[in-house]
């Protein structure tokens, strides 16, 4: 289980990541995975959290964390509200088109070349 996805989108500043993870820890949350980026002075981070035992997070805990960090800054999301990412189909198509163009499948012996 990866955990509940919490997305942070705010102006970047020194100590931001430290402050956010401290607030998670103080509220009994454990970060199982994090995607941390900065774009144009804006911190765009996704944290996957569970409770300390690895169980799903209680909604009261999530709301307490959001109150402390900022309701508009920390969102519970399925998809990124801050960063638009390409649809999965496009990413998969791009991956496969690169494999065929680079002839990697031929090099791996997965298909035969007829050229």
**This prediction's pTM:** 0.65
* Secondary structure string (H, E, C) spanning 26-43: HCCEEEEEEEEEEECCEE
Burial class (CB in 10 A: 0-12, 13-18, 19+), 86: exposed
Q: Which of 103, 10, 24 is nearest to 68 (CA)?
A: 24
Q: Which two tokens stand for residue 11?
A: 């102006």
pLDDT tens for 47-79 read 999 999 999 999 999 999 999 999 999 999 854
State percent of the chain over pLDDT 70: 66
Contact 35, 81 (CB under 8 A): no
Task: Quick: pLDDT tens for 18-35.
Answer: 999 999 999 999 999 999
Tokens of 95: 């991956």
Distance linking the first and last C-alpha atoms of the chain:
46
């Amino acid at each position: 289980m990866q955990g509940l996805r919490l997305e942070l989108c705010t102006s970047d500043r020194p100590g931001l990541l430290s402050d956010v993870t401290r607030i998670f820890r103080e509220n009994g949350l454990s970060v199982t995975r994090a995607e941390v980026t900065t774009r144009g002075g804006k911190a765009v981070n996704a944290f996957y959290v569970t409770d300390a035992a690895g169980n799903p997070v209680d909604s009261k805990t999530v709301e307490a964390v959001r109150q402390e960090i900022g309701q508009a800054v920390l969102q519970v999301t399925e998809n990124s509200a801050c960063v638009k990412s390409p649809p999965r189909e496009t990413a998969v198509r791009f991956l496969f088109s690169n494999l065929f163009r680079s002839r990697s499948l031929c090099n791996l012996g997965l298909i035969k070349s007829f050229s």
